[in-house]
Amino acid sequence: MRRGSIASLLLIGVVAGGIVAAVALALPWLPTPASREAGRIDFVTWFVIVICIVIFSIVAAALVYSIVTFRARPDDLEDGPPIHGHTGLEIVWTIVPTVLVTAIAIVSAIVLSRDDALGKNVLRVNVVAQQFVWSFSYPDAKGLTSGTLMLPEGRSVQLRFTSKDVIHSFWVPEFGQKQDTVPGLHPTLHITPDRLGTFPVICTELCGLGHSVMRTQAVVMTPAAFAKWLKQQTAAISSPNPSVSGAAVFKNNACGACHTLTAAGSSAKVGPDLDKLPAYAAQAKQPLDSFVRESIVSPNAYIQPGYSKNVMPPTFGTSLSKPQLDALVQYLVSSSKKG
Amino acid sequence: MTAVAADHELGPHGEGGWRLLIRAGWIRAAWMFCLFGAFGFGLVVVFRWWGGWHPIIDMPIVTLVSLLVAAPIGFLAGIGCFDYWAYYALGFPTRPEDHSGHGARTWRDYFRVNTDHKVIGVQYLVTTFFFFLAGGLLALLVRAELARPGMQFVDTQTFNGLFSVHASLMIFLFVVPGFAGLANFAVPLMLGAGDMAFPRLNALSFWLLPIAGIMMLSSFLVPGGAFACGWTGYVPLCSTHEPLGAVFFNQGVQWAGASSIMTALNFLVTIITMRAPGMTFWRMPLLVWANFTTSLLVVVATPFIAGSQFFSMFDHVMHTAFFDPNNGGYPLGYQHIFWFYSHPAVYIMMLPGFGIMSEVISVFSRKPIFGYRLMALSLMAIVVLGFSVWAHHMFVSGMAPWLRVPMMITTLLIAVPTGIKVFSWLATLWEGKLHFRTPMLFALGFLSMFVIGGLSGVMLGSVPIDIHMSDTYFIVAHIHYVLFGGSVFTIFAGLYYWFPKMTGRMYDERLGKLHFWMTFVGFNVTFFPMHILGTEGMPRRVADYAPKFATLNMVSSIGSFALGASVLVFMYNIITSWRTGEVAPSNPWRAMTLEWQVSSPPPIFNFDEIPQVVGSPYGYGTPGAQHAILAPVRTGTAEEVEVT
């Protein structure tokens, strides 16, 4: 190989590497981490990206150089030199990638084991997924349940998953961690939040018609604020006459993920528009109050034309308590009459 | 379509009356389709009446037994796939050397059961291209809906159906059988064989395909809509929460899978037993090696997806509980069985492309393929390793946690044989005499795009990175860089490369290059932004997304429409060139492999005399090097086989 060709090959390689590296750095690849695990995942990602940029640059340089240098004129009917192989070169490009992927495997395995290792004083949260709702309960706080995932900063959190129907998947991009929820299994996931803020909780496993709206939020608060929130909420549920607000039931069960209801500020279109409940009840020839109750408890009893059966979970009849159900029906009846 | 010869008067046309009804063909296919369908219907009704089940006419069961199983068998019988075997089994006189169904003399011969591998290859390619267009249109609808946040054109049931049917058609009806079509045409010729080992089985394996494709497409017409659980068909969503359309997917996969298995067996027997004298394994062109290894994968792996789809379908229509956790079933069992096929399927969709690349790059670089033996061995390495990596699709699934690290190691190791292939192709280009004809452009496009797809695959192989990226648009970007930048580019390279041999005419080079550049640019504009969307937090398979992803989605949608336009250029080029293109010489690329040593298109029985193979198929640059010695062409002698 001529010396000039090595120099120009190197030059092309450096230019290609530079361009790819600039693209890699300029683009907002990963969300800003909000957990220690995400920080470590970022590290592995960049470790692998650097290796990938080097490999890509080598390939791009060889390809571009060949295209420019070895182009034949259309009337050139000669063949190239009869080179059938080069054992040394073939050994090199077998060994070097083997070493690189081994390095990637070792770094990944170390990060994986550290991400999975629970810290001290673990906060346990039970996560229940169903079409198309998340709910989070805190077994150490009298089973307090929330539609939003509230977490303290800096504490090791273990999420334990249950699915009531199909497979869903729990993901907060800023936490980096992800876990499928499988009916019949109870997998766990470890997160150590380390940045205050509100982040989206996203279902990433196709779970049916409302998959794209199966969202809620994760809020990371200071340990003091979290303790205060926990205290307030547990006090509310343990008082002898809990005042159940229909609006809260609506919000905590994520009804607004699928239904429009002006009073609750939701405008989703997966299920029927709840502002039109009086009209629907008239179509179904039932009194509004019992129509609303029946539609929550056994959603397939009456299907509004234009919507499908089996989309709404049939489980609310058992998952909601009697006062909660009463409050929700009352709330829906009064809100829809106003709307 | 061009025919080999125009012997119209010899064709079996001109008979009328009731003979038309019972002769193998479309008329018999139509009434036998109905007859078998009615038989299936009757079977269900009788059994349900006898067993005392109500209602006696249960639509899901009736649809499955009558429409999806019995009626297609009737169609196959009617079109004539089983005639020879049925005559033989029933003791009617048969003639093993009956060549009446062999070869194409008029365009009509492409529309009947034909035992000529060259005709079957073209039948495969035209059929798969039809489903490529259908699948592509579905993808454009998906991109139209995703161009802006919010819901614009379709409801969520339709949207989920669009991307599910898109993926199933592209995988089961385009990439897998598309490669089988190219190989069907090229492999027997490259081996110096007269045909495949089992020509009638070959014909049957083709006719299963349109059944599978129409079944998947027609699921849009079923009450409740198309199957909408993704091409992966995860349970329990697909088995117990889906409309009847899901069964059309389960059963469509069975027909396509059966076709795959039959073809693969045929290739294996053909390659092992029908090589020309002198064609040792180490003298086989790499396309043959690639299809040999692919066929090994297909034969071992495909029964697994058949099993997974049967069990899922039984859960759906018969209320079994293979995957129903409420009755002792295990949902992850489905995923393990499914991916035990579907990961090797990734290589089933890639290895034949590797073979095409080796042919094209060597010919258009005018150099021998670099490191021939290691190229063949790395194919074998991919086959072996390919069976040990399936659970890397399940790192976040909740499977046994200890499985993750071993599966990560095998997954990353697959990069090594794949890397060997990429570096060897680069070394083949080095110091060559590069001719940038359209197949070569697609080959170089493949090389660059596949490297990106391979590297994003290495990223996903690492468990912690995969935990973040799983089920996001990064996955969508990765699979399209591998399956479009990889497989589809190689299919186009192969189509342009063998077009002169198949049709006897040259394609239009200018339009071919235009097609390449539109595809290359459109492809990158469509799929590159998806990497960023995914890492930033956009999950896949969603009809609606957060407003912050709007810009990149719009870019991607615009790119997809450019990509759609590029296919129109391709179609125009292929159709006009097929009809009126310049007549092709027998060896326009000055290639050494055997298919280029016979006329374009090849004679009906390929070779007048079986050639004698004497050397490497890639002897470029060595003066006087020969791959094979062919008998001089004799024309018009009495020895020519009499064909009617």
Do B253 and B375 lie in one domain? The reply is yes
Give residue A28's pLDDT: 77
Task: Please say if the pLDDT value at position B103 is more than 90.
Answer: no
Let me know the angle formed at the C-alpha of B339 by A165 and B524, rounded to the nearest 5 degrees: 100
Q: Hunting for tokens 């859960």 — which residue is that?
A: B315
Q: Decide which of B58, B74, B90 is a domain's last residue.
A: B90
For residues A34-53, one letter each, b for 16 or more C-beta atoms within 10 angstroms of the residue's C-beta and e for the rest, the string is bbbbbbbbbebbebbbebbb
Do B78 and B128 lie in one domain? The reply is no
Do A54 and A109 lie in one domain? The reply is yes
B10 within a domain of the structure (yes/no): no
Edge-to-edge strand ranges of the sheet holding A168-171: A149-152, A215-221, A197-203, A168-171, A178-181
The pTM of this model reads 0.90
B481 within a domain of the structure (yes/no): yes
- A173 to B412: CB separation less than 8 angstroms, yes or no: no
A79 within a domain of the structure (yes/no): no
Top residue of A20, A27, A58, A93 to mutate, by most chain B CBs within 10 Å, is: A93
Do B368 and B487 lie in one domain? The reply is yes
Instruction: Read off the pLDDT band of B427 (50, 70, 90).
Output: very high
Do B394 and B518 lie in one domain? The reply is yes
Residues of the domain holding B260? 114-580
- A90 to B447: CB separation less than 8 angstroms, yes or no: no
Interface check B419 vs A, CB under 8 A: yes
Give residue A243's pLDDT: 58
Interface check B579 vs A, CB under 8 A: no
- B237 to A63: CB separation less than 8 angstroms, yes or no: no
- Summarize pLDDT for B313-364 with one digit per residue, the tens: 999 988 899 999 988 999 999 999 999 999 999 999 999 999 999 999 999 9
Do A101 and A9 lie in one domain? The reply is yes
A52, A200, A212 member nearest B455 (Cβ): A52
- Summarize pLDDT for B154-178 with one digit per residue, the tens: 888 899 999 999 999 999 999 999 9
Do A154 and A217 lie in one domain? The reply is yes
Write the ipTM: 0.89
B586 within a domain of the structure (yes/no): no
Instruction: Read off the pLDDT band of B5 (50, 70, 90).
Output: very low
Top residue of B373, B416, B428, B589 to mutate, by most chain A CBs within 10 Å, is: B416
Contacts of B472 in chain A (CB under 8 A): 204
CA distance A243 to chain B (A): 35
A83 within a domain of the structure (yes/no): no
A77 within a domain of the structure (yes/no): no
Do B386 and B447 lie in one domain? The reply is yes
Taking the C-alpha atoms of A28, A29, A34 and A40 in order, what is their torsion angle to the nearest 10 degrees? Answer: -140
A52, A80, A209 member nearest B431 (Cβ): A80
| Number of cross-chain residue pairs from A and B with Cβ atoms under 8 Å apart | 269
The span from the CA of B198 to the CA of B203, in Å, is 9
- B434 to A67: CB separation less than 8 angstroms, yes or no: yes
Do A7 and A51 lie in one domain? The reply is yes
A141 within a domain of the structure (yes/no): yes
- B401 to A116: CB separation less than 8 angstroms, yes or no: yes
A82 within a domain of the structure (yes/no): no
Q: What would the mean pLDDT of B622-635 be, rounded to a whole number?
A: 78
Cα nearest neighbour of A52 on chain B: B455
For residue A281, give the nearest of A328, A210, A332 by alpha carbon: A332
For residue A135, give the nearest of A158, A155, A160, A154 by alpha carbon: A160
List the 96-155 stretch of B: residues with Cβ below 8 A of A. 151
Do A224 and A273 lie in one domain? The reply is no
Rounded to the nearest 10 degrees, the angle between the axes of helix B351-365 and helix B438-461 is 140
B601 within a domain of the structure (yes/no): no
Do B83 and B145 lie in one domain? The reply is no
The span from the CA of A149 to the CA of A161, in Å, is 13
Give residue A238's pLDDT: 64
Let me know the angle formed at the C-alpha of B471 by B445 and A98, rounded to the nearest 5 degrees: 55
* Mean pLDDT, rounded, of chain B: 91
- Summarize pLDDT for A144-198 with one digit per residue, the tens: 888 889 999 999 999 999 999 999 999 999 999 999 999 999 999 999 999 999 9
Do A140 and A225 lie in one domain? The reply is yes
CA distance A334 to chain B (A): 29
A45, A52, A211 member nearest B542 (Cβ): A211
Structure tokens at B621: 């640059």
Do A98 and A26 lie in one domain? The reply is yes
Do B58 and B131 lie in one domain? The reply is no
Q: Decide which of B533, B551, B580 is a domain's last residue.
A: B580
B254 within a domain of the structure (yes/no): yes
Residues forming a β-bridge with B539:
B472
Give Cα separations from A75 to A79, B433, B512, B513 (angstroms): 12, 11, 20, 19
- A204 to B429: CB separation less than 8 angstroms, yes or no: no
Which of A22-26, A138-142, B82-86, B206-210 is least confident? A22-26
Do B195 and B49 lie in one domain? The reply is no
B2 within a domain of the structure (yes/no): no
For residue A177, give the nearest of A25, A31, A48, A29 by alpha carbon: A31
Give residue B644's pLDDT: 41
Do A147 and A215 lie in one domain? The reply is yes
For residue B181, give the nearest of B303, B291, B43 by alpha carbon: B291
Task: Please say if the pLDDT value at position B253 is more than 80.
Answer: yes
B641 within a domain of the structure (yes/no): no
Q: Decide which of B580, B615, B639 is a domain's last residue.
A: B580
- B325 to A212: CB separation less than 8 angstroms, yes or no: no
A164 within a domain of the structure (yes/no): yes
B100 within a domain of the structure (yes/no): no
Contacts of A30 in chain B (CB under 8 A): 468, 535-536
Please classify residue B441 by burial: count the beta carbons closer than 10 Å to its beta carbon, then call 0-12 exposed, 13-18 middle and 19+ buried.
buried
**Number of domain units in chain B:** 2
Phi-psi category of B103—alpha, beta or left, where left has phi over 0 and alpha has psi -120 to 50? left
Please classify residue B631 by burial: count the beta carbons closer than 10 Å to its beta carbon, then call 0-12 exposed, 13-18 middle and 19+ buried.
exposed
Do A146 and A210 lie in one domain? The reply is yes
Task: Return the number of other C-beta atoms located less than 10 Å from residue A155's C-beta.
Answer: 17
Q: What would the mean pLDDT of B246-260 be, rounded to a whole number?
A: 95
Residues of the domain holding A13? 3-67+88-116
Do A151 and A186 lie in one domain? The reply is yes
Do B34 and B136 lie in one domain? The reply is no
Instruction: Read off the pLDDT band of A241 (50, 70, 90).
Output: low
For residue A322, the SS3 value is helix
For residue B152, the SS3 value is coil
CATH code for the domain in which residue B199 is found: 1.20.210.10
Task: Please say if the pLDDT value at position B8 is more than 80.
Answer: no
A62, A101, A204 member nearest B415 (Cβ): A101
A75 within a domain of the structure (yes/no): no
- Summarize pLDDT for B174-216 with one digit per residue, the tens: 999 999 999 999 999 999 999 999 999 999 999 999 999 999 9
* Amino acid letter, B149: P
- The DSSP result for B288-346, as a single string, is HHHHHHHHHHHHHHHHHHHHHHHHHHHHHHT---SS-GGGT--HHHHHHHHHHHHHHHH
A76 within a domain of the structure (yes/no): no
Interface check B510 vs A, CB under 8 A: no
CA distance A116 to chain B (A): 10
List the 33-52 stretch of B: residues with Cβ below 8 A of A. none
